[in-house]
Structure 1
Amino acid sequence: MTHALPPPLAISMGDPAGIGPEIIAKVFRDQPQAAQGCFVAGDLAVMRRAAAAIRGPHGVDLPVAEIETSADAWRVPARCIPLLQATPALEPPAWGAVSAAAGRAAADCVVWSARAALRGELAGVVTAPLHKQALAAAGVRFPGHTELLQAEAAAHVGCPVERMPVRMMLANDELRTVLVSIHVALRAAIAAVTFDNVLQTVRIAHEALSRALGRAPRIGVAGLNPHAGEGGLMGREEVEVIAPAVQAACKAGMLASGPLPPDTIFMRARNVAQHPGEFDVVVAMYHDQGLIPVKYLGVEQGVNVTLGLPLVRTSPDHGTAFDLAGTGRADPASLLAAIRMARQLAG
């Protein structure tokens, strides 16, 4: 009796002028077992250039095979890149150069992947890095993956974007953090620390990690101000906003604690052999508060996960690294971690 193969994972190629295509090629070359059942939503010429860039003077050619449907990914042999043309054929742009053409192609690949996942054709989407300036040059009205995927998901289910709340989680083996706000100016991020936003973030983290862990996660909630406000001496947000949101979460059955001082909560949550973490995830009040601790522990193992979407989406914890593009030296470890986490989340 034969069993149907599971839906594949799509890897969107990212900005074709950056390191995304190269690190994808390295995963298919060096980690064929991890890459099995994956394919690239991208451009044939770009991926062939990337395969050549990592070959080296005495390396073995890495073939790129164009496929017609996502299901064809399972029929491509190991150490060969399955490529589904998800954007109009592209003349590969100069390495490390911001261009509208590159931004448009990168966005096309994300949109194609998101729509295929929302139709149930994919187990999930792993996104290689975009370049925000290139997106803007192409006229894309979203600053990054998270907002673009949110809009696609909302359109798919037929609801306004504001009724499709999403959050960014950055995770590695030692620490997870979920953000109340993402890509906004710091002044706007502070204004976004409201009762509703904090409670919604805790709820989204609780629902997503309950599925992943098979139990209710322990959620530590960071304060906004130094020392979590010192009872109102250094700011009132903890007293008036964050603590009431945590209390509401607890009344709803979530295991939330806080607000806790942001300069120590991440150390308390860090999970290492000599110190098991007190929390499964930290809810951080703004982008840099949450991302700096995780990235400090090692960008090469970090994974960006979008929570709240009706699809699985992960991404490496780094950017396009234009200074490395074309050299063949970029490290694929974070992309590999993103592929593995996508499989875990997809079940």
Structure 2
Amino acid sequence: MTAPIALTCGDPAGVGPELAAAAAEVLKGELPFFLIGDPRHLPQDTAVAEITDPAEAAQVPAGTLAIMPHAFPEAARPGHPSLANAASVVAVIERAVALVQEGRAGAVCTGPVNKKVLKDGADFAFPGHTEFLAHLAGVDRVVMMLACPELRVVPVTIHIPLREVPGAFTPALLEETIRITEAGLRRFWGIERPRLAIAGLNPHAGEGGAMGREEIDWMIPLLARLEAEGLRLKGPMSADTMFHAAARAGYDVALCAYHDQALIPIKTVDFAGGVNVTLGLPFIRTSPDHGTAFDIAGKDLADPSSLIAALRMAREMSISGSKKAG
């Protein structure tokens, strides 16, 4: 039996608290998790059980949300973020990481935050959740994976302008991303020899140099060297032919050169069920693949599917990781 999942509340003015309540109602005790946040920020009709220790999460009645209270300075106004609450949003993340590092939580699942609110209200110096978690874990490099039952994708470069991609997409970065991804699939999915498909940077993977030379000049030699070590790699592949069902059956994860090359396919395949997974951390972190959605917060319109998928994936990874460790 693995420890319960710590779910952070995210920005309380967003959809995070209401999705946590909806997830508890839908899951009905299927997996133990608990929310860290202020009980005042939950919808009024939420069935809540306050806990003081993560282990108590497994004992709450089915359909009831276990919450480890964390007081915030202000009540939440859905759709209207408060700078006064920003520091508490950050503190909740720190608390969740501390619990998983102590072994009291089996994974961290993060509710959505607003980066500008954190920067303006808490002097948050990180581009986002992922970089902050890496800082808390003391690691220099992590990898963002988006996953659903039909597809896993990794963007090698992430939130940078498209014009900067060719300079940022380097042999060293691709090699490091391949190694972290391969290790994550072995550790948390139990895949002994993962199959990694590598998309080319250019259309048609450069088409023999006619549309770009990165594939010829350094990608092919790099992949050949890593294959000689025993890694199972395919590529560089033309990105426009590697995401249909038959192609997806030939690999366990697709590594893509830039953000949209990776995220358009997975959001087309499973828009509501995609999960953000951070690989390279010494603990499990998942997150729903959406933001705070201030525009619909508090209106009973938010879909809990991605959060439920993130909680389930965290649980599956925790179980697989425990078996691997054993």
Return the match for 2:10 from 14, 32, 35.
Answer: 14
- Aligned-pair RMSD on alpha carbons? 1.8
Question: What SS does the corresponding residue of 1:337 show, helix, strand or coil?
Answer: helix
Return the match for 1:242 from 219, 227, 230.
Answer: 219
In 1, Cα distance between equivalents of 2:246 and 2:86: 37
1:207 partnered with 2:207: no
* 1:240-279 matches, cutoff 5 A: 240-267=217-244, 271=248, 277-279=249-251
Query: Sequence identity, in percent?
Result: 42
4+ residue stretches of structure 1 with deviation over 6 A?
none
Which 5+ residue runs of structure 1 have no aligned equivalent? 53-60, 155-160, 272-276
Q: Which residue of 2 aligns with 1:25?
A: 21
Q: Which residue of 2 aligns with 1:85?
A: 69
- Aligned-pair CA distance for 1:109: 1.5
In 1, Cα distance between equivalents of 2:223 and 2:316: 28
Aligned AA (1:258)? G
**Maintained 8 Å contact 1:229/1:236:** yes
In 2, Cα distance between equivalents of 1:79 and 1:223: 46
The TM-score with structure 1 as length reference comes to 0.86
Q: Which residue of 1 aligns with 2:296?
A: 324
- Aligned-pair CA distance for 1:185: 3.0
Aligned AA (1:40)? L
Which 5+ residue runs of structure 2 have no aligned equivalent? 320-326
**Maintained 8 Å contact 2:79/2:297:** yes
**Maintained 8 Å contact 1:15/1:105:** no
- Aligned-pair CA distance for 1:308: 0.8
In 2, Cα distance between equivalents of 1:325 and 1:127: 17
Aligned AA (1:30)? V
**Maintained 8 Å contact 1:44/1:89:** no
Q: Which residue of 2 aligns with 1:290?
A: 262
Q: Which residue of 1 aligns with 2:166?
A: 190
Q: Which residue of 1 aligns with 2:127?
A: 143
Q: 1:242 to 1:135 in 2, by over 3 A?
A: farther
Question: What SS does the corresponding residue of 1:232 show, helix, strand or coil?
Answer: coil
**Maintained 8 Å contact 1:8/1:38:** yes
Give the total of aligned pairs: 317
Return the match for 1:110 from 74, 82, 93.
Answer: 93
- Aligned-pair CA distance for 1:69: 2.0
- Aligned-pair CA distance for 1:270: 5.7
Deviations 1:288-323 (A, max 9, x none): 211111012222111110011100111111111111
1:99 partnered with 2:94: no
**Maintained 8 Å contact 1:9/1:123:** yes
- Aligned-pair CA distance for 1:223: 0.7
The TM-score with structure 2 as length reference comes to 0.91
- Aligned-pair CA distance for 1:345: 0.6
In 2, Cα distance between equivalents of 1:327 and 1:283: 37
Q: Which residue of 2 aligns with 1:71?
A: 55
Per chain length, whose mean CA-contact separation is higher, i.e. which structure has more relative contact order (CA < 8 Å, sep 6+)?
2
**Maintained 8 Å contact 2:13/2:79:** yes
- Aligned-pair CA distance for 1:120: 1.8
- Aligned-pair CA distance for 1:189: 3.3
**Maintained 8 Å contact 2:14/2:81:** no
